[in-house]
Amino acid sequence: MLHSTTHTSQLTHIPLDLRTSASTRFRKGDWWKRLVILLTVDSISILTSWLLVYALFSENTNELLPPFFTSLIIQLVAISIQGNYAPGNKRHDYWCLTKTITFAHCLLIVIRVLSESFPQQNSKTLLLYWLITTSVVCFGRFAINFCLEYARKNKIVGFNSVFLICSEAEKEQALNCVQQENRYNIAGYDDYQALDEDNRLATLEKLKKLGVTEVFISLGAIKNRLYLCWLFQTSGITVHLLPMELKPIYRDLVVHNVGGMTCLSFMSPAITGKDFWLKRIFDFCFACLFLIITFPIYLVITIGIVIDSPGSPFYQQTRVGLHGKEFKVWKFRTMRTDADKMQKELEALNETKDGILFKIKDDPRVTRLGKFLRRYSLDELPQLFNVVLGEMSLVGPRPLPTRDVNKFSARHLIRQEVLPGVTGMWQVSGRSDIIDFEQVLNLDLKYIENWSLSLDFEILLKTVQVVLNKEGAY
């Protein structure tokens, strides 16, 4: 076990990322340039296609602008959803582009049928527009890729800064593999000791100063230490493994070729860029709307608590959030006002296996109304104020009290690398019925590694079901 001061020291030295509301820096600095270039070229390609078709078939040019903007938006959104603006080889996946543009044109035909304002083109015009648009967009992407490869070859544009971690015996082979890609600038090299517990934070600080965005690690350097990938990933650094011998790995990986060698890449699961803002905007809007709609419920609960037992209707407790930063979480008070003092006397009754969490099924500190509020999780409602302030998200790992975090071992700190949530995988998978913290950790990791807005919606809907059924609540 690690002492609490050790945890705090380790966490506060790890660079912040976009999953904290106070941080707005982006990781790979040139991502927005690539996006602007691709969007511009695609827009010009679509406009060129419209101009060519209407120059040949349309007698009334006043009909051009409204349908052009409709077509532009639909096709750009379709290309974006398909992932053709993402980094990597997808930008010149011409078959994927063709399928996406075909789908967008099918959607345009549906709009043509449903909307009288849409120009009444004949089938020949639509077919020609599809052929021209597909050809021009793919040609534009080909031109971008050709120019980029030429610029890289002649060192006109900068390369991604990468770092190698492997043994001295593997160094030459690793260098040769990475250099063959002609798109990386090798900023430095270190041996296995860079991953040792005493050197990890220094290694991360070194990578930060070098501007490294990706790190290549030989499989031999990271055997039995796969949790270390998180130290790099939560700093916005993509982890690649260069296996000298391929062995089964416990989790899904992206597999691609680097210099003729199979490379296993752990992509960062960090919620960054547009993902962060989508999640943050949704959290803020939903929390504000819910607070406005349910204000009478808050008022009734507040009055009920005051009548039921003496003391403030609200309770604030210090919890540990993103990167070990402490904050005050809001709850409706469900216990006696001296509950924190009584906890020390009740530690012997703790029902959790490893003692990290503190759970007692029939906790004598809980008030009469408190039992009802806990059964339906109504005591958690004030945490929406924490969501509005950006200290929490609607969905994420639950923030734990300092008493629990102080008992963490090193691998448990992974769950502190995302913004904590009002609900999460743990809550919809058993809540208080889960008394083994390792199960809690595995559920949190499952959420972090598979995050999407659709998963957030799924957890929120399941939370409602769990609360109504009073599952695992006490």
Please work out, in degrees rounded to the nearest 5, the angle formed at the alpha carbon of residue 149 by the alpha carbons of 143 and 154.
125
Do 130 and 167 lie in one domain? The reply is no
| Within a domain: 474 | no
Of 46 and 343, the structure prediction assigns the larger pLDDT to: 46
Least confident of 120-129, 349-358, 392-401, 447-456: 349-358
Q: Are residues 246 and 361 in the same domain?
A: no
- Same domain membership, residue 292 and residue 394: yes
Average pLDDT over every residue of 101-113? 80
Residues 134 and 205 in one domain: no
Alpha helices (runs of H) in 238-393, residue ranges in sequence order: 273-293, 295-308, 339-346, 368-375, 383-388
Torsion angle of C-alpha atoms 39, 40, 41, 43, degrees rounded to 10: 80
Bridge-based pairing of strands 254-258 and 238-242 is unpaired
Mean pLDDT (whole number) for 297-321: 90
Let me know if residue 15 belongs to a domain. no
Range from 70-74, 170-174, 470-474 carrying the lowest mean pLDDT: 470-474
Sign of CA dihedral 67, 69, 73, 76: positive
- Is 5 a domain residue? no
Burial of 378 per CB tally in 10 Å (0-12, 13-18, 19+): buried
Residue 362 C-alpha from the chain's centroid: 37
Same domain for 51 and 131? Answer: yes
* pLDDT confidence bin for 91, thresholds 50/70/90: confident
Structural domain tally of the chain?
3
Query: What is the rounded distance in angstroms from the CA atom of residue 463 to the CA atom of residue 456?
Result: 10
Query: In terms of domains, do 101 and 124 share one?
Result: yes
Between residues 441 and 163, the one the model is more confident about: 163
Token pair for 448: 């972090």
Whether 118 is covered by a domain: the verdict is yes
Question: What's the rounded Cα separation, in Å, for the pair 324 and 417?
Answer: 8
Residue 269 has pLDDT above 60, yes or no: no
Higher pLDDT, 20 or 254: 254
Q: Order the strands of the 400-401 sheet from edge to edge.
A: 326-332, 314-320, 400-401
Average pLDDT over residues 442-463: 85
What is the band of 107 on the pLDDT scale with cuts at 50, 70, 90?
A: confident
pLDDT value at residue 3:
38
Report how far residue 290's alpha carbon sits from residue 212's, in angstroms, rounded to the nearest whole number: 42
Distance of alpha carbon 64 from alpha carbon 330, whole angstroms: 56
- The answer on 200 and 85 residing in a single domain is no
Give the residue from 266, 286, 316 where a domain finishes: 266
Length of the chain, please? 474
**By mean pLDDT, which of 115-124, 238-247, 318-327, 338-347 is the weakest?**
115-124
Percent of residues, the chain, with pLDDT higher than 70: 72
What is the domain-level CATH number for residue 243?
A: 3.40.50
Enclosing H/E stretch for 176: helix 168-179
If asked whether residues 302 and 442 sit together in one domain, one would say yes
447: pLDDT strictly greater than 70 = yes
Residues 78 and 191 placed together within one structural domain of the fold: no
In a domain, 354, yes or no: yes
Single out the residue in 132, 153, 174 at which a domain terminates.
153
Q: How many CB atoms lie within 10 A of CB 137?
A: 26
pLDDT at 268: 62
Q: Tell whether 362 is covered by a domain.
A: yes
Is the four-CA dihedral 359, 362, 364, 366 of positive or negative sign?
A: positive
- 279 vs 272: CA distance, rounded Å: 10
State how far the Cα of 324 lies from the Cα of 418, in Å rounded to an integer.
Answer: 10
10 Å Cβ neighbour count for 303? 11
Does 64 reside within a domain?
Answer: yes
The pLDDT assigned to 201 comes to 82
pTM of the model: 0.53
Query: Is residue 399 within 8 Å of residue 323, measured between CB atoms?
Result: no
Bigger pLDDT: 1 or 105?
105
Q: Could you tell me the sign of the dihedral formed by the alpha carbons of 466, 468, 471, 473, in that order? A: positive
Residues 222 and 130 in one domain: no
- Please check whether residue 436 lies inside any domain of the structure: yes
What pLDDT is recorded for position 125? Answer: 74
Residue 28: predicted pLDDT = 45
Spatial contact of 215 and 163, defined as CB atoms under 8 Å apart: yes
Domain span at residue 388? 273-468
User: Is 146 in the same domain as 166?
Assistant: no
Q: Say yes or no to pLDDT of 301 above 70.
A: yes
Q: Of the residues 241, 266, 291, which one is the last residue of a structural domain?
A: 266
If asked whether residues 201 and 261 sit together in one domain, one would say: yes
Helix (H, G, I), strand (E, B) or coil at 240: strand
